[in-house]
């Protein structure tokens, strides 16, 4: 198949994320990827500033990760997880338990981030059924959150600015608080927690869990909020007997400057979701972790089982590469690298604040965000970025980047110079 045929068939028949079947945007055909570069069919190399949506923290074609999959492939690609277990799942669990917040002791594997959030929500519902309080069956969250694209996760995404507004009344009605206001770098405005307390006081008898992305609200607006907010919410959940679900799918594995963003507030959630960077971007894989209190309450009450079990649960290839990915992360200078990227972003993107088209520039860990005053013309800015040899996928008013941790200083310069030129051209 020629590259032209490939593009035509793709345009005519292959859906892309949040896109039209008319193929209004030509998708770039990637032939291979190596280090921090994507190589297109025509040989063009693009520096990847997106880590394939938060996943490829070590870049592409990583020898250690390739090896983990190749080695596991010789034993088995997959076996069902009902009634069977295997080394890759058990070894990964041991590795995870060493690094996640203490008291998270039980791990439920699934195939994608959204599914892991569905599972977290089901755990919370089953927990309250087990406690003979089935009326605790709603969820509370903040505005500007994003938790996935499946049915119940959509109900806790921002109902207005999120991507699922079209489903409107069809979704379960959850309780929404204002978005956290004090930013990560500002003084904390403690009055914010009064509104949280007011709502919990009013609704706690019908709430199963509070769900939130710790510190970084990702696809719902790329906002960094204050650790005191997170700490306060956790404290109020305890006070009002509500489970606390941390969605660490984007923030997990170092991206925001801590291995898990919950560490900024020194809290252990009752339930935690991880995905995205879990396999270093090699495979679709996620996990929902919970405390013994949650797991055993569900298990000690009728029917005694947690009612979920995906076909590809704990896929051995995914478990093997996830473990190799975590080993590589822990043995690399990830913290030094994330701080290096943070310092570079702060220094090189700050001047953009002066442009009258830009409303804010913010950086946390290996995440750089430029918020424009108006929504960007995606096609036009993407073409400008590609001219600079850079791959980004801006959305709405946000031009943002979260590169692989092992990006070199020279490549960082190329990335931020490209971003600067493209933003100046708006």
Ligand X SMILES: *Cc1c(COP(=O)(O)O)cnc(C)c1O
Among all residues, which ones are annotated catalytic? Answer: 18, 146, 247, 276
Do residues 177 and 140 touch, judged by C-beta distance below 8 A?
A: yes
Among 23, 148, 180, 214, binds ligand X (CB under 6 A): 148
What is the tally of helices (H) and strands (E) in the chain? 13, 16
In the complex, the smallest distance separating the C-beta of residue 143 from ligand X, rounded to whole angstroms, is 15
Residue 250 contacts ligand X per CB under 6 A: yes
From residue 268 to residue 307, the character string flagging contacts with ligand X as x (rule: CB under 6 A) and all else as - is -------xx-------------------------------
Residue 147 contacts ligand X per CB under 6 A: yes
In the complex, the smallest distance separating the C-beta of residue 57 from ligand X, rounded to whole angstroms, is 14
Strand 390-391 relative to strand 45-48, pairing:
parallel
d(CA 95, CA 328) in angstroms, rounded, equals 12
Residue nearest ligand X, CB atom distance? 113
Q: For residues 89 and 215, which CB has a smaller minimum distance to ligand X in the complex?
A: 215
Strand 286-291 relative to strand 207-212, pairing:
unpaired
Among 110, 126, 218, 401, binds ligand X (CB under 6 A): 218
**Bond before 303 cis per omega within 30 degrees:** yes
d(CA 228, CA 127) in angstroms, rounded, equals 27
Of the candidates 66, 12, 343, the residue with the CA atom closest to the CA atom of residue 4: 12
In the complex, the smallest distance separating the C-beta of residue 148 from ligand X, rounded to whole angstroms, is 4
d(CA 213, CA 146) in angstroms, rounded, equals 8
In the complex, the smallest distance separating the C-beta of residue 309 from ligand X, rounded to whole angstroms, is 18
CB proximity list for 278: less than 8 A, separation 6 or greater: 252, 253, 285, 286, 287, 322, 325
d(CA 141, CA 315) in angstroms, rounded, equals 31
d(CA 247, CA 127) in angstroms, rounded, equals 18
Q: For residues 86 and 276, which CB has a smaller minimum distance to ligand X in the complex?
A: 276
Residue 253 contacts ligand X per CB under 6 A: no
Residue 219 neighbours by CB distance under 10 Å: 22
Stretch that binds ligand X, among 145-153, 254-262, 306-314, 416-424 (CB under 6 A): 145-153
Among 213, 342, 384, 411, binds ligand X (CB under 6 A): 213
Say how many residues make up the chain. 426
Instruction: Count residues near ligand X (CB under 6 A).
Output: 15
Do residues 232 and 196 touch, judged by C-beta distance below 8 A?
A: yes
Burial 84-109 (b: 16+ CB within 10 A, else e): eebebbeebbebbeeebbeebbbbbb
Q: For residues 215 and 249, which CB has a smaller minimum distance to ligand X in the complex?
A: 249
Residue 365 contacts ligand X per CB under 6 A: no
Q: For residues 23 and 220, which CB has a smaller minimum distance to ligand X in the complex?
A: 220
CA–CA distances in Å: residue 177 to residues 78, 143, 185, 380: 42, 6, 21, 36
Q: For residues 112 and 325, which CB has a smaller minimum distance to ligand X in the complex?
A: 112
Among 33, 36, 117, 419, binds ligand X (CB under 6 A): 117
CB proximity list for 196: less than 8 A, separation 6 or greater: 177, 232, 233, 236
Stretch that binds ligand X, among 211-219, 227-235, 262-270, 308-316 (CB under 6 A): 211-219
In the complex, the smallest distance separating the C-beta of residue 238 from ligand X, rounded to whole angstroms, is 23
Q: For residues 104 and 117, which CB has a smaller minimum distance to ligand X in the complex?
A: 117
Residue 114 contacts ligand X per CB under 6 A: yes
Strand 37-40 relative to strand 30-34, pairing:
antiparallel
Tell me, what DSSP letter sits at residue 374?
A: S
Could you say which residues in the range 93-112 bind ligand X, by CB under 6 A? 112
In the complex, the smallest distance separating the C-beta of residue 217 from ligand X, rounded to whole angstroms, is 8
Residue 249 contacts ligand X per CB under 6 A: yes
Among 23, 35, 49, 113, binds ligand X (CB under 6 A): 113
In the complex, the smallest distance separating the C-beta of residue 247 from ligand X, rounded to whole angstroms, is 5
In the complex, the smallest distance separating the C-beta of residue 223 from ligand X, rounded to whole angstroms, is 12
d(CA 426, CA 381) in angstroms, rounded, equals 8
Could you say which residues in the range 368-407 bind ligand X, by CB under 6 A? none
Do residues 71 and 281 touch, judged by C-beta distance below 8 A?
A: no
Residue 120 contacts ligand X per CB under 6 A: no
Residue 247 contacts ligand X per CB under 6 A: yes
Q: For residues 114 and 199, which CB has a smaller minimum distance to ligand X in the complex?
A: 114
For the residues of 32-49, what is the DSSP string, one character each?
EEEBTEEEETTS-EEEES
Could you say which residues in the range 36-95 bind ligand X, by CB under 6 A? none
Chain contacts with ligand X (rule: CB under 6 A): 112-114, 117, 146-148, 213, 218-219, 247, 249-250, 275-276
């Amino acid at each position: 198949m020629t590259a032209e045929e490939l593009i035509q068939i793709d345009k005519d028949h292959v859906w892309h994320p949040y896109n039209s079947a008319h193929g209004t945007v030509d998708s770039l055909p990637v032939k291979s990827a190596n280090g921090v570069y994507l190589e297109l069919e025509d040989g063009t190399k693009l520096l990847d500033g997106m880590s394939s949506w938060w996943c490829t923290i070590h870049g592409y074609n990583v020898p250690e990760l390739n090896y983990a999959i190749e080695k596991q492939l010789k034993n088995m690609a997959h076996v069902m997880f009902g009634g069977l277990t295997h080394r890759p799942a058990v070894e990964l669990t041991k590795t995870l338990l060493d690094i996640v917040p203490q008291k998270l002791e039980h791990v439920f594997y699934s195939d994608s981030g959204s599914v892991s959030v569905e599972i977290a929500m089901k755990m919370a519902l089953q927990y309250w059924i087990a406690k003979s309080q089935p009326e605790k069956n709603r969820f509370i969250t903040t505005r500007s959150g994003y938790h996935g694209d499946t049915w119940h996760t959509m109900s806790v995404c921002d109902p207005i600015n999120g991507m699922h507004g079209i489903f409107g009344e069809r979704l379960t009605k959850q309780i929404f608080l204002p978005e956290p206001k004090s930013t990560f770098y500002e003084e904390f405005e403690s009055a914010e927690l009064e509104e949280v307390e007011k709502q919990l006081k009013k609704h706690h008898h019908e709430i199963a869990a509070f769900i939130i992305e710790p510190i970084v609200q990702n696809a719902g607006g790329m906002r960094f909020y204050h650790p005191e907010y997170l700490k306060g919410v956790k404290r109020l959940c305890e006070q009002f007997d509500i489970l606390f679900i941390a969605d660490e799918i984007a923030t997990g594995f170092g991206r925001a400057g801590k291995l898990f963003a919950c560490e900024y507030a020194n809290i252990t959630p009752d339930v935690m979701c991880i995905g995205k960077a879990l396999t270093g971007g090699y495979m679709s894989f996620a996990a929902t972790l919970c405390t013994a209190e949650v797991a055993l309450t569900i298990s000690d009450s009728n029917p005694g089982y947690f009612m979920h079990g995906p076909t590809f649960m704990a896929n051995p290839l995914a478990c093997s590469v996830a473990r190799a990915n975590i080993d590589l992360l822990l043995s690399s200078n990830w913290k030094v690298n994330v701080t290096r990227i943070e310092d570079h972003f702060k220094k090189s993107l700050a001047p953009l604040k002066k442009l009258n088209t830009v409303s804010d520039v913010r950086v946390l860990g290996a995440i750089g965000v430029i918020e424009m005053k108006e929504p960007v013309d995606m096609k036009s800015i993407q073409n400008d970025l590609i001219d600079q040899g850079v791959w980004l996928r801006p959305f709405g008013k946000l031009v943002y980047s979260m590169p692989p941790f092992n990006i070199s200083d020279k490549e960082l310069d190329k990335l931020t110079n490209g971003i600067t030129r493209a933003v100046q051209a708006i």
